[in-house]
Structure 1
């Protein structure tokens, strides 16, 4: 059976996270397998990756389009802000080596099992102001280097209890307050379904600030089509509202990784009108 590949006239740039599929293979083989399907590639921590090998794969059309934009730190505490900005500089240097355009951040560093290093589920007004200031400084770093930082929403009930600024409406508020093209939302619809729901209207309200969209189904965090979210309806709505950016599958495969990619690509294949 022939594997599905991304159509040339698709409305969205499609990507997949190499941390979560083809997990029985070495990382570089995962990257190659994803790229062979016409997909862009996303990854998490860059520290343990062979950046030279990833850079060399650019010549073969392999593109890493998102990676973690910090190593440690948070948006509000004195030491956390200093660490976040310092490790963002390190991440920008890594992004330059592999020409990765987007660097992802959260309200705080995440420890083992996704537990926030600095838990603060109910930030104070002062925390909000400090977070916005930190993100302005982060956006300035991105502008200097020609990169975009994305602030990702997370869910509190299942994966990241106590994480500050976790909801999509929180990340939207902060990104809109900074109002820089070098700081955008990473709107993760898996997390948003658990934390907020009403996904199509959430996309519509967030559209001016979206840097990319990530998807996985609920429950289980597997590929679209395995849970309760009507991702085909989401795809068509995104097309209708004029979204033309990246949609990335940040999901585990419920079975074979190639089958998961088939389902994802089919769901988010929406040809633009000629």
Structure 2
């Protein structure tokens, strides 16, 4: 499933389902909360809709009850202000952290910062400024950035320089607020400019800001280059956020070929204190599928 699919799906959850505490229906949660996961896994809206029929606030409470300590929402920037504020309040009450949301200015997905065109840069920076306000409402620290498509009319070096300049400008906006853009190399199609961890590492090194780092999505990197642990080791200095999805299929760990138990042990041994976003679908439908997903994460969680 492509990123926009996750955004649209999550957005519909907020629009079509009750979002206020007064409108929420009781969920069939157990009274006893589960133990917290060792690793800071972060689900997204829609993963547990069958166990939390009252809407997105009820779903956040269900996540907390199951031992999840964080949450991410690609489409947060597009949600109404009052919904952002309610989500932020609920996360604070539950003691949960906010993971990434996408700095999505619309056109920057297909037309690219790699072109160096002023109108694309202006739109990106405008969206960065809006992201600061959203981050404050939900106490977010990280925002996903995708530079866009490869520009076939320009040499690769020129495109890279254009992206570096855009990231420098974005970092100038985020640094005073202690916020971090995390650039994500993707595997959705071969037209994307940013596809590899070392390429992203190079850009982050050139920008030279704590507000410009790598989002290492294990699913995408398995598809694009594999050799996951060795690649993470080489680029670790710039990795600030990690996302999860097994391959093939982009579902929970244990449904594909990736040895997530080993990968999570490596990440834990590195002393990673950040969030691991569960950016994937459920392998099975309904309540049984949601319980199977939780069990899959229990199985691969680091044992301490």
**TM-score, normalization by structure 1:** 0.84
C-alpha displacement of 1:191: 0.3
Matched, 1:199 2:239: no
The answer to whether the Cα contact below 8 Å between 2:99 and 2:277 also exists between their aligned partners in 1 is: no
Q: Quote the Cα distance in structure 2 between the aligned partners of 1:123 and 1:231.
A: 37
Q: Which moved more, 1:118-127 or 1:210-219?
A: 118-127
Q: Quote the Cα distance in structure 2 between the aligned partners of 1:249 and 1:134.
A: 28
The answer to whether the Cα contact below 8 Å between 2:98 and 2:140 also exists between their aligned partners in 1 is: yes
Specify which structure has the higher proportion of helix.
Answer: 2
C-alpha displacement of 1:211: 0.7
Which position in structure 2 is the counterpart of 1:115?
Answer: none
Specify the SS of the correspondent of 1:103. strand
Q: Quote the Cα distance in structure 1 between the aligned partners of 2:291 and 2:273.
A: 25
Which position in structure 2 is the counterpart of 1:125?
Answer: 157
- Residues 7-26 of structure 1 aligned to structure 2 (within 5 Å): 7=37, 10=38, 12-18=39-45, 21-23=47-49, 25=53, 26=55
Matched, 1:245 2:274: yes
The answer to whether the Cα contact below 8 Å between 1:6 and 1:14 also exists between their aligned partners in 2 is: no
The answer to whether the Cα contact below 8 Å between 2:100 and 2:141 also exists between their aligned partners in 1 is: yes
Which position in structure 2 is the counterpart of 1:55?
Answer: 88
Matched, 1:68 2:116: no
**TM-score, normalization by structure 2:** 0.77
Task: Check 1:246–1:52 CA distance in 2 against 1; reply closer, same or farther (3 A cut).
Answer: closer
C-alpha displacement of 1:4: 5.3
Q: Quote the Cα distance in structure 1 between the aligned partners of 2:239 and 2:173.
A: 19
C-alpha displacement of 1:170: 1.9
C-alpha displacement of 1:5: 3.7
Which position in structure 1 is the counterpart of 2:72?
Answer: 42
Q: Quote the Cα distance in structure 2 between the aligned partners of 1:190 and 1:3.
A: 30
How many positions carry a matched residue from both structures? 255
Specify which structure has the higher proportion of strand.
Answer: 1
Matched, 1:148 2:175: no
Specify the SS of the correspondent of 2:283. coil
Structure 2 unmatched ranges of 5 or more: 1-29
Higher RCO by CA contacts (8 Å cutoff, separation 6 or greater): 1
Structure 1 unmatched ranges of 5 or more: 109-117
Specify the SS of the correspondent of 1:185. strand
- Residues 117-266 of structure 1 aligned to structure 2 (within 5 Å): 118-120=149-151, 124-155=156-187, 159-255=188-284, 256-266=289-299
Bigger CA radius of gyration: 2
Q: Quote the Cα distance in structure 1 between the aligned partners of 2:257 and 2:142.
A: 29
